[in-house]
Chain A
Amino acid sequence: MIRARGLEKRYGRRRVLAGVDIAVPSGGFAVVTGPNGSGKTTLLRVIVGLAAPSRGSLEVDADRAQVGYLAHEPLVYRELTALENLDLFGRLYRVTQRRERAGMLLERFGLWDARNERVSTYSRGMTQRLALCRTLLHDPELVLLDEPHSALDAEGAELLDRELEALAGSRTVVVATHDPQRLGSLASVGIALA
């Protein structure tokens, strides 16, 4: 569950978010839309706790361990392999049987063969797939995805769509996207930023 009223975020004189109201029930699937620079990324960063709101109230009923966040950047080490990255984050997230879990996700996102290669050798699309694995590694209750389809090829996008379908209903999901058609019928809540 996420509830925000009059959410505002400003950096000095620059106002990035102005008076946003949100209500996403548990198990809801929210889609955040808006043109470039409308604050989609900032809204997600505020919800996840990386940025503090300047004004307004925000309630998120999930602690850090239960939140999965796919950021604009992949949040993985360039000089580590996919497996090493997931192992490190699995440890920090206290994932039980993290090697099995990591292996399963890498398999599911088509990265198993590249598991022992450094992220610096990955293409943008592969890095995005790994970032998705990292986001879902600890089986989060609340999943926040910032432009998840970016850089993915047709196959990757299809894998992601299947993943989103599985998440819808059982998890609370917030997706920021400039292409809401892609998510079609999954969305139960719309948040339009101007």
Chain B
Amino acid sequence: MTYLADVAALTRKDLRVELRARDTLPAMLLFVVSVLVVFHFALPEGTGDDAAYGLLWVAIVFTALLGLARAWVPEQEHGVLDGLVLAPSDRSAIWLGKTLATLAFLLTAQAVALPAFVLFFAPLDATALAGVLLADIGICAVGSLMAAMAAASRSREVLLPLLVLPLAIPLVVGGVGAAISPDGQRYLLLLALYDGVFAVLSWASFEYVVTE
């Protein structure tokens, strides 16, 4: 129970910091809507809905990357991550708190971006939305671990997308499949499998990337 209380406190702290600094969420919102507008001009007339669904996934992945790039900035200022790591609480709670906070930002951005997508391009059914949710979980779980790794490097802004994109390919396959395939359930299963496997792996590995 204390574990969950720690996670809740850490997530709440991230939301509070964001509410005050407003560094991440407005940028994600503006980015995802701008990308959708760019897509209008990138998609020639008559390309059909399928191409739009594909591009939606490009927008989702890059919006998530934008949020992830800033995920550990509050901890890097004043070296707070060291302070969290030294505390006797379980270190994986730090990862879980960050994952949930990033997920909250991404879902908020999508609460605007997905209606905009429907308005501009094509409808989204329940399977497609479930695909978005599952892929969000996966990319935030893996991404917050990778962002912590990238934060310790010299070239963090450049490194993060390189680390995450190959890992995000199954998520894009699952998300696009859920949106356009008549047999969307299979893709949701793929996404759920991805989430389960990589969330456990990230949860178990976090301690190693923040300690020596």
Q: Which residues of A contact B (CB under 8 A)?
A: 48-52, 63-65, 67, 69, 71-80, 84, 88-89, 91-94, 118-119, 127, 134
Q: Within the complex, which residue of A48, A79, A92, A127 is in contact with B74, where a contact is CB–CB below 8 Å?
A: A79
How far apart sit A78 and B73, CA to CA, in the bound complex (Å)? 11
B5 touches A91 (CB 8 A): yes
Task: Enumerate chain A residues within 8 angstroms of B6, measured Cβ to Cβ.
Answer: 91-92
How far apart sit A49 and B91, CA to CA, in the bound complex (Å)? 14
**Given A78-B77, A80-B17, are A71 and B82 also a contact pair (CB < 8 Å)?**
yes
A76 touches B9 (CB 8 A): no
Task: Enumerate chain B residues within 8 angstroms of A78, measured Cβ to Cβ.
Answer: 74, 77-78
Task: Enumerate chain B residues within 8 angstroms of A48, measured Cβ to Cβ.
Answer: 86
How far apart sit A127 and B20, CA to CA, in the bound complex (Å)? 19
CB under 8 Å from chain A, chain B span 82-122: 82-89
Task: Enumerate chain B residues within 8 angstroms of A72, measured Cβ to Cβ.
Answer: 79
Task: Enumerate chain B residues within 8 angstroms of A127, measured Cβ to Cβ.
Answer: 78
How far apart sit A76 and B80, CA to CA, in the bound complex (Å)? 5
Give the total of B residues in contact with A, Cβ under 8 Å. Answer: 25
Q: Within the complex, which residue of B2, B79, B88 is in contact with A71, where a contact is CB–CB below 8 Å?
A: B79
Task: Enumerate chain B residues within 8 angstroms of A75, measured Cβ to Cβ.
Answer: 78-80, 82-83
B74 touches A69 (CB 8 A): no
A79 touches B2 (CB 8 A): no
CB under 8 Å from chain A, chain B span 50-84: 74, 77-80, 82-84
Contact sample, A vs B, 26 pairs, CB 8 Å cutoff: A49-B86, A49-B211, A50-B85, A63-B88, A64-B87, A71-B79, A73-B82, A74-B79, A75-B82, A75-B83, A76-B80, A77-B78, A77-B80, A78-B77, A78-B78, A79-B74, A80-B13, A80-B16, A84-B16, A88-B13, A91-B5, A91-B6, A92-B6, A92-B9, A93-B88, A134-B83
In the complex, B38 has a CB within 8 A of chain A = no
How far apart sit A72 and B77, CA to CA, in the bound complex (Å)? 12
In the complex, B212 has a CB within 8 A of chain A = yes
Q: Within the complex, which residue of B2, B5, B16, B212 is in contact with A52, where a contact is CB–CB below 8 Å?
A: B212
Task: Enumerate chain A residues within 8 angstroms of B88, measured Cβ to Cβ.
Answer: 63-65, 92-94
In the complex, B1 has a CB within 8 A of chain A = no
Task: Enumerate chain B residues within 8 angstroms of A93, measured Cβ to Cβ.
Answer: 87-89
How far apart sit A96 and B110, CA to CA, in the bound complex (Å)? 40
User: What 1/0 mask marks residues of chain B from 1 to 40 whose CB sits below 8 Å from any chain A CB?
Assistant: 0100110011001001100110000000000000000000
How far apart sit A71 and B212, CA to CA, in the bound complex (Å)? 17
Q: Within the complex, which residue of A67, A77, A94 is in contact with B2, where a contact is CB–CB below 8 Å?
A: A94
Q: In the complex, what's the smallest C-beta–C-beta distance from A148 to chain B, in angstroms?
A: 16
A89 touches B87 (CB 8 A): yes
**Given A79-B20, A80-B13, are A92 and B84 also a contact pair (CB < 8 Å)?**
yes
How far apart sit A118 and B89, CA to CA, in the bound complex (Å)? 25
Task: Enumerate chain A residues within 8 angstroms of B21, measured Cβ to Cβ.
Answer: 79
Q: In the complex, what's the smallest C-beta–C-beta distance from A146 to chain B, in angstroms?
A: 11
A64 touches B86 (CB 8 A): yes
Closest residue on chain A to residue B89 by CB atoms? A92
Task: Enumerate chain B residues within 8 angstroms of A71, measured Cβ to Cβ.
Answer: 79, 82-83
